[in-house]
Structure 1
C-alpha cells in the first residue's frame, strides 16, 4: 500500500477520485491502470481494493506511481459501500468523485463534475456505454427509459466529503447503495444536482455478468415502492392483454419505444445514444416484468444474493433517513479496527 498521494488540483479545487474494486481471481485489469494514470493529472487517486491478498498484491504492482492502494476498513454487507466509506475516512480533500472500475471520465467531463460540486453536495451525472455489444444496447434501453422518467442512477457520483461525514456516512447494509448515498446527503440537508447532460462513458460488462444482474437490478425497486408496484403490474397486464386483445401489447411496445426515444433526446442524449437504442425498450420492459416477480420471491425468502450472502434491504426511504438523521442514529457502516479481517461479504466490492 502506498502512502496518501499528494493532492492534485482540477482548476482551483483539490479532488480525490475513489475507486472501490474487487476481483476474485488474478487477471488483467484491461486499461484501468493506464486510465488511472490519466486521472492522476486531475485528482488524487485512491483504490480501495477488497480482493483476496494474492490478487491485491498483483494489483499493487500494476498501478501507476501515486495511486493510494488500500484494503477496506469498514465492515458492512455491501462491499462497494465498504470501499466508499474507507475512502471517505481516508481522503484529505473536500471534493470526492466516486466511480466504479468500468467508469471512464475525460478531462472535460471531470472538470464539469468538479464545477457542479461548487454549488451542490452530491452530483449525479449520466453514464453511457461504449462500445455497444448487444447486451449493452439492451441495458441502454433501461437507461433511456430512466432518463425519460428522471430517475437514472449512474456508476459514479460527485460528493462533498464534509456533508457525507456530517450525515454520519451512509448505510452499507443495503443493495442500492448509490441511491442510499444520495438520499442520505439529502436527508442531512444537502443539495443534489441531477446532470443528465454530463455524459461519462462506461465500459460494458460481459454478457454473462449482464444476465446475472437482471434480478438484482429488479430488486433495487424495493427502494422505490411506487416504481416497483408499476413493474409488478407489467406481467399481469401483459398476460391479460395477450388473452383479450393482442393489439394492446403492440401498442404498449410502441409506447415503450416512444418513451425511450424521449429519454434519448433529453438533454443532448442523441450525442451518445444511437437511434437503435430505443428499439430495445420492449425487450427490457418484458425482462423487468418477469424479473420483478423473481425479486419479490427473493424478498420473501431472505433477500437478494450478494457476495456469498443475502441482502434484504434495497434502500431506505428519504423519510426514514431524515428521522435517523434527526435522532442522530449511526449508520450501519462502522469502522473496523486496523488489521481486523472483514467478512467475505464486506470485502467483496461489486
Structure 2
C-alpha cells in the first residue's frame, strides 16, 4: 500500500442523507503514522467510484491526525477530547449520508480492497463482517486468545454465529445501524453491534481477509478494554435474557424463601448443629419480598429490551394480557384488604389484652408480608397495563403506534 497522500480536492457532490451508496467511517485517535496509508488505500479503491464518501473522526488526537485527514478529499470531524472508539463511530454515523456504512480501523491493519465486496453483499444482507486471518506476526498472543474467548462467550450467551465478532472492518445498512441506537463509547462497540444484530434477526454474512501489522502505537489495552467488552456482553445478556437471569431465579428464590418461612411459622427448627427461630423466619420473609422485586425487575428489563427493538417475548405478552393483569390486580387487592384487616385484628386484640408483651410476632410479619405482596401485585398489574397495547401490536408485527385516521379540515 502506498503512503503518498492524495491531493485534496473538492467534494464530489453535496447529497442529503441516504443519497450516497456508501459512507466509509474511519475512527482515528493519534493515527498520524497509519492514516496516510489507510486513506491512500481507501481512495485508490473507491475514489473513482460514484456514490462513496469517506468520513474521518479524529477522537481528540494530539499528533496531527486532523491535519493529515484534511490532505485527502474526506469529510473530517474532530472531538475536542478523547471519548473512545464507539463515540467516534457514532459521531461518524450521525454525519453519514450513505445508504450503507462501512467502519474500518485507521491503523492500516485492514485492506480497503474488501470494501467493494462488502458494499455488494450489503445489497442482500444487513451486516457484513470481515474475519481476520490471524498469525503470530500481526496479532499478539493475548489478543488472539482474547478474541477466541469473546467469540465463545458471544456464541454461548447470545447465540451469535460465526467468528471474529470483534473485527474492526464491517459494514451495515444505514437504517439498521440507526435503529440499533448504539450506546457504547469504547472498544465494546463491536460487541454491542453484534448482539443487537442477533436480537433484531438481521441477515449477517462474513468473508476472510488478510490482517496486516498495524502502523503506529496500539490503542487497545487488552486488560482494560477486555473488561470493558466483557462488561458490555454481560450487561446485554442480563438485558436481553431477563427470563433466565431475573424472572426464573426470582421465582425459585421466592418458593424457597416462602417455603422456609411457612415451616418456621409453625415452630422453631432445632438441630444438633444449628437452630432456626424468629430471626431466621424474618430473614426468609425478606427473601421472599426481595425475590418478587427480582421478578418485577426482570419484567422491566424485558420492556426496556422491547423499547430497544427486541420483539416481545411470549411470556411477557402473556403476562400483559387483560385476564392476567386483572387477575393479578384482584389478587393484590384481596391480599391488601385481608392483610390490613388481620393486622388491625391483631393490634386490637393486643390492646384488649392490656397492651403488654406482644406474642403474635409471626402473625404480624406474615400479614405485613401479604400486605407488601398485594401492593406489589397491584403495582405490577398497573405497570404492565401501560405497555399492554404496545406489546400486543408488536407481537403481531404491527407498528407500535396505531395509525391515526385522517380528519377532514
> Please, what TM-score do these two structures have when normalized by structure 2?
0.44
Where 1:171 maps in the other structure, the secondary structure is coil
Q: For 2:194 and 2:149, locate their aligned partners in 1 and report how far apart those are by CA, in whole Å.
A: 20
Higher Rg: 2
Deviations 1:49-81 (A, max 9, x none): 1234772443245x43x22222249x9x95222
Does 2:121 match 1:116?
Answer: yes
Alignment of 1:1-350 (within 5 A): 5-6=12-13, 14-23=21-30, 29=35, 31-41=37-47, 42=49, 43-52=52-61, 55-61=64-70, 63-64=71-72, 66-72=73-79, 79-102=84-107, 103-107=109-113, 109-129=114-134, 132-133=136-137, 136=140, 139-140=143-144, 143=147, 150-153=162-165, 154-167=167-180, 169-173=181-185, 175-187=187-199, 189=200, 191-195=202-206, 198-205=207-214, 209=218, 212-225=221-234, 321-325=305-309
Give the conservation status (yes or no) of the 8 Å contact 1:7–1:16: no
Q: For 1:20 and 1:94, locate their aligned partners in 2 and report how far apart those are by CA, in whole Å.
A: 19
- Give the 3 Å change call, closer, same or farther, for CA 58–122 of structure 1 in structure 2: same
- Give the 3 Å change call, closer, same or farther, for CA 23–134 of structure 1 in structure 2: closer
Q: For 2:220 and 2:86, locate their aligned partners in 1 and report how far apart those are by CA, in whole Å.
A: 23
Q: For 2:203 and 2:131, locate their aligned partners in 1 and report how far apart those are by CA, in whole Å.
A: 14
Offset of residue 92 of structure 1: 1.5
Give the conservation status (yes or no) of the 8 Å contact 2:146–2:226: no
Q: For 1:37 and 1:79, locate their aligned partners in 2 and report how far apart those are by CA, in whole Å.
A: 25
- Give the 3 Å change call, closer, same or farther, for CA 129–68 of structure 1 in structure 2: farther
Offset of residue 100 of structure 1: 1.1
Greater fraction strand? 1
Offset of residue 98 of structure 1: 0.7
User: Which structure has more RCO (C-alpha within 8 Å, separation ≥ 6)?
Assistant: 1
RMSD: 4.3
Partner of 2:400: none
- Give the 3 Å change call, closer, same or farther, for CA 20–124 of structure 1 in structure 2: same
Offset of residue 96 of structure 1: 0.9
Q: How many residues align?
A: 225
Offset of residue 45 of structure 1: 1.2
Where 1:191 maps in the other structure, the secondary structure is coil
> Please, what TM-score do these two structures have when normalized by structure 1?
0.51
Unaligned runs of 5+ in 2: 1-7, 156-161, 238-300, 311-386, 391-409
- Give the 3 Å change call, closer, same or farther, for CA 135–325 of structure 1 in structure 2: closer
- Give the 3 Å change call, closer, same or farther, for CA 100–222 of structure 1 in structure 2: same
